[in-house]
Amino acid sequence: MYLIKLNEKLYLTLLLITRFNTNFFNTNDIAILANKYYKELVRAKKFKKDYKYLEDTNFGGLRGNLSTILTLRGLVKRGSRIIATYSLGNDFRLKNAIQKGEVILGKDFTVKTNSSGLKDLLEKVDQQHSLREAQAHVKQWLNRNKSIPIKRDNDFPKDAVFKTENNKFLFRILFNNFLKGGIFEYHLLSYWEGNKIKRKNMHIFFAVPIKKNPFGELFFIKVEDLFLHEPLFLEFNNVTKECKDKNGNTYKVYSLENAIEEFSDQYGNEVARLAYSWKELKEKFCEQETELEVRKENESNSFINLFLDWSKKFRINGKDVIDVVQIGSSGPDIELIFSGGTKQKVELEHTWSSYFNHGHQNNNAFKNVWIFAEEPWDASKVFQLFKSQKVLNGDRVPDVFLCIDNGIRKVYQAKWEKEKFLELPVVFK
C-alpha cells in the first residue's frame, strides 16, 4: 500500500470528486461545492479576519486559491455561453479511480492506494499544482531577482503583464501540463481573452523549471507569430528547445535580451489588433456542446450522504439493513441487504419525476422497486405524480418512498386506495 501526503487544496478537490462523481468545469464549480459541503477546509485569510474566501465576490478568493489545481482542457458550450473546461490531471483517470475505490482518502490530507500507477499519477498532479503555484508568484520572483530588466505593468493588475524600459510589453502564459518526452504544455487562454492585446501590443513568455527553480529559463515569442495561427496551447520540448502548437505549427523562441532588442513596442501591429475578436476566437476554440448541469451529484453518493448519513446500517420497519450494494446499470441503482438474507432494490433519483422521465415505469427490471429522491418530500405532489402511473403500470411503480421530509429522514408506504401515505419506522445506527 502507498501512502501519499497531499496539499490541502488538492485534498479538498479529491474530497469533492469522491462525493459527487463530477468532472469540474472551472474553479467556480469547486468554490460553490466546497463552500456548501466543506466549510471547515475553506479557511479565512490570517491577515484579514473579516474576509473569507467563500464571501468574496463571485467566489474570487477561493477561486484564486484553487486556480492552480486544475488542468485546462479547452473551451466548451454550456447553454448559450462558452466557458473553459478543466480536469484534475491530464484526464479523468483519477476521478474514475476514486469512484471505484482504488484510491482512498485518509486523515491529515493523505491518500492511500495499492496501485503504483495511481501513486505516480497522484504525485504528478501534486507536482503540476506545485509548479503552477510557484510560477503564479511572479511578483515575488521579480523582487528576488532585481537584475532582470522587466517590471509589472500596473495598468493590468489582474494579469501577469510586464514591460521593459523601451516599452516592450510581455505577457506571462501559464504552465498547464507535463507531457511525454520532456515536453511542457502552456496555455494562452488568459492572453487571448478580453481586450488586452487591443490595448497594448503584447508578446508572450513562459518559464521552464530547472531542478527546484520554477523560473529556471525564460523563453519569449513574438505576437506577430502568434497572430498567424492563434494557438490556445503551446508545447515546448525542453530537450530540443522547439515550440509547437497542437497542429504542428512551430514558433521561434527568443531570449530576454533578444526580445528587448528585436520585438515590436506597445504600438505595433495596429491592423492585426484592431481585427482581432475574442468572440470569434472562442468559437474557433470551442470543441463540443455540454449539458447545462455539470455538477449533478451522483445519485448513490447523494443517497449515502443525505439519507444514510454515510452509514450503511439501519433498521426499517423492524428489519435490519446490514449493507447497501450498488448493482447493474440496466436496472435499479442499489440493493439493500437485510440481516435475514433478503434483498430490496432501490432506485435513486434527483427528483421524483425523474423516475418517469427515465421511463422506468415501462421496464420490468423495476418491478417492486423502492425509490429515493433528494428532492424534498411533498406528499400531495408525489401522490398525484405516482397515482396515475400506478394505475397504468402496476408494480413497476414504487409503493415505498425513502425521502427527506423537513430535514428528517423518513420512509413512507403508499396506500393508494385510501389516498394517503403510511410512515414506516426507521432507525439509524
- As given in the structure block, the three cell numbers for residue 241 are 528547445
Write down the pLDDT at residue 53.
42
CB 58 within 8 A of CB 31: no
Q: Rounded to whole angstroms, how far apart are CA atoms 356 and 78?
A: 26
CA distance 318 to 331: 26
Q: What is the pTM of this model?
A: 0.64
CA–CA distance from 31 to each of 37, 82, 155 (Å)?
Answer: 10, 19, 28
Residue type, 173: I
Cα–Cα distance, 10 to 122 (Å, whole number): 10
What's the CA gap between 43 and 66, in Å, rounded? 13
| Euclidean distance between CA atoms 370 and 388, whole angstroms | 17
Cβ–Cβ under 8 Å, residues 251 and 244:
yes
Half-sphere exposure of 427 toward its Cβ, with a 13 Å CA cutoff? Answer: 6
Residue 109 has a pLDDT of: 84
Q: Could you state, in chain order, the average pLDDT of each consecutive group of 10 residues for the chain (429 residues)?
A: 86 77 66 74 51 41 71 79 80 76 84 89 87 84 85 85 93 90 92 93 94 89 96 94 92 96 94 94 72 44 67 85 75 86 90 89 93 92 94 95 92 94 91
3-state helix, strand, coil in the chain (%, to 5): 35, 30, 35
The beta-strand segments (E) located in 272-359 are 286-290, 314-316, 319-326, 334-338, 343-349
Spans of all domains in the chain: 1-137, 145-277, 299-428
Query: Crossing angle of helices 8-20/299-306, nearest 10°?
Result: 100
Predicted pLDDT at 330? 66
**Are the beta carbons of 7 and 109 closer than 8 angstroms?**
yes
- Cα separation of 68 and 130, whole Å? 8
Residue 102 CB burial class (10 angstroms; 0-12, 13-18, ≥19): middle
pLDDT at 34: 77
Query: Residue 390: what are its φ and ψ, rounded to 5°?
Result: -65, -40
- pLDDT given at position 290: 47
Question: Mutual orientation of helices 116-136 and 8-20 as an angle, nearest 10°?
Answer: 130
The predicted pLDDT at position 146 comes to 82
Question: What is the per-residue pLDDT for 295?
Answer: 35
**Cα distance between residue 10 and residue 66, in whole Å:** 8
Count CB atoms within 10 A of the CB of residue 229: 13
Residue 21 main-chain phi, psi, to 5 deg: 50, 55
* Torsions phi, psi for 426 (to 5 deg): -135, 130
Which amino acid belongs to residue 356? F
Residues 410, 414, 415, 416, CA torsion sign: positive
Specify the length of the chain in residues. 429
C-alpha cell recorded at residue 121: 499519477
Q: What is the DSSP string of 86-103?
A: EESSSSSHHHHHHHTTSE
pLDDT of residue 299: 58
CA–CA gap between residue 422 and residue 426 (Å, rounded): 12
Q: How many CA atoms lie within 13 A of 205 on its CB side?
A: 26
Taking a C-beta distance cutoff of 8 angstroms, is the pair 14, 121 a contact? no
In 173-288, which residue ranges form alpha helices assigned H by DSSP? 189-192, 196-199, 223-229, 256-262, 270-275, 278-285
